[in-house]
Amino acid sequence: MRVITGKYRGRSLETLPDTSVRPTQDSIKEAVFNLLQTRVSDARVLDLFAGSGALGIEALSRGASEAVFCDNSREAGAVLLKNLEKLGETNFRFLNKDFKEALKALRGEKFSIIFLDPPYDKEFYDKALALIADYDLLEDDGVVVCETRAAHPRLSSHIIENLREESENTLAVYDSRQYGTTQIQLVKKCSVCLIPGSFSPFTKGHLQIVEEALESYDVADVIVFTNPEKSSPFKVEARLDIIKDSLGKLAPRVNVGYDKGFVSDYCKKNAITHIVKGIRNSADELYENAQSLYNKEYGNATTEYVYAKKPEISSSAFWQTVKIGGDYKGLIAKNALITVRKHLKNINNLKGE
């Protein structure tokens, strides 16, 4: 393994002989630093689960002002310190601690870049992100770089209690990239809005709401809620599938999920202060105004409206079209048409049993 570029370009680094330790491949490392670009110069870097220190050393080579390396393995620490000594690097600290103890010890400090690359088979990602949020360790414009398996689900968002009343009060994934069997999820302090609905199914009208919401917010939580006034042939799992496939390039900035409770409770639990809803006609507006008053009183969340460009597009219109055997392609995002057909077929098969 070598340093890719910077003042230590081409210098070789020792790695751990333990095959259970997974050093970041040079190709992945280069991709990560291409994403970070100008963030690295003069940055304070935290390399959690550092191993041999390849990521933190690459940052130092590219102009980071200081790196703090953390690893609870003595063997890893020995290799890491040997690499730094060989390079003659002095702008670093090494904490030979468990990641929870290390993060606690760093309370009061701020980092521009935090590398989070734990063993894939350990559930350390969300625990580490929760502590980073609790201790508010990330600079306002900083980023946490998380390396996961390609199939790893989107990492959970975490409220930064110190910033609960601020707009950017949540550590959340704002971008993700896949490189072969590896996924890089980028996390930062984000402004988050909630887009609630029954989404049965998610239409082009709903997609317009998401597109316009993301012009104002870093991340949108698109959450399926159960509406007792609306029954749906699509089960929740089908609705979630259709939403995910509809999002296209917006997907990295959208958290898709399901909640059994009230919208107001979701907002309180997740410190979300802004809800974005769609309006198609005056009847919608009357209904949503009543809901917005409730969510403001009980969830401390303000509702903003996106007015439909094509009010004729709706979930009801979809089911009316399906009922008469019509063409619903104009109502559903192109990326999701195959998924919609699959779930409609499942419904028809159940009816035939």
Residue 61: count of CB within 10 angstroms of its CB:
20
pTM (2 d.p.): 0.83
Specify the higher pLDDT residue, 205 or 347: 205
- For residue 278, the SS3 value is strand
The predicted structure's pLDDT at residue 353: 42
Distance CA 345, CA 353 (A): 13
Lowest mean pLDDT of 12-16, 112-116, 210-214, 317-321, name the range: 12-16
Is pLDDT above 90 for 108? yes
Lowest mean pLDDT of 13-27, 152-166, 238-252, name the range: 13-27
Backbone angles phi, psi at 196, to 5 degrees: -95, 160
> What residues have CB less than 8 Å from 61, skipping those under 6 apart?
3, 4, 5, 6, 7, 8, 9
The predicted structure's pLDDT at residue 26: 83
Instruction: Give me the percent of the chain exceeding a pLDDT of 90.
Output: 83
pLDDT averaged over every residue in the chain = 93
Taking alpha carbons only, the member of 282, 170, 146 closest to residue 219 is 170
> What residues have CB less than 8 Å from 352, skipping those under 6 apart?
none
Mean pLDDT, rounded, for 1-21: 85
Tokens of 173: 């994934």
Is pLDDT above 90 for 237? yes
What spatial distance separates the first Cα and last Cα of the chain, rounded to whole Å? Answer: 59
Q: Read off the amino acid at residue 58.
A: E
Is pLDDT above 80 for 225? yes
The predicted structure's pLDDT at residue 123: 81
Distance CA 145, CA 116 (A): 6
Mean pLDDT, rounded, for 323-343: 96
Is pLDDT above 60 for 350? no
Taking alpha carbons only, the member of 179, 127, 129 closest to residue 149 is 179
- pLDDT tens digits for 242-251? 999 999 999 9
Distance CA 201, CA 241 (A): 10
Q: Read off the amino acid at residue 67.
A: A
Is pLDDT above 70 for 351? no
Specify the higher pLDDT residue, 208 or 22: 208
Lowest mean pLDDT of 6-10, 165-169, 184-188, 201-205, name the range: 165-169
- pLDDT tens digits for 258-305? 999 999 999 998 889 999 999 999 989 999 999 999 999 999 999 999
Q: Which domains does the chain have, with CATH numbers?
A: 26-190 (3.40.50.150), 192-352 (3.40.50.620)
Tokens of 347: 């419904």
- pLDDT tens digits for 39-56? 999 999 999 999 999 999
The predicted structure's pLDDT at residue 230: 72
The predicted structure's pLDDT at residue 55: 96
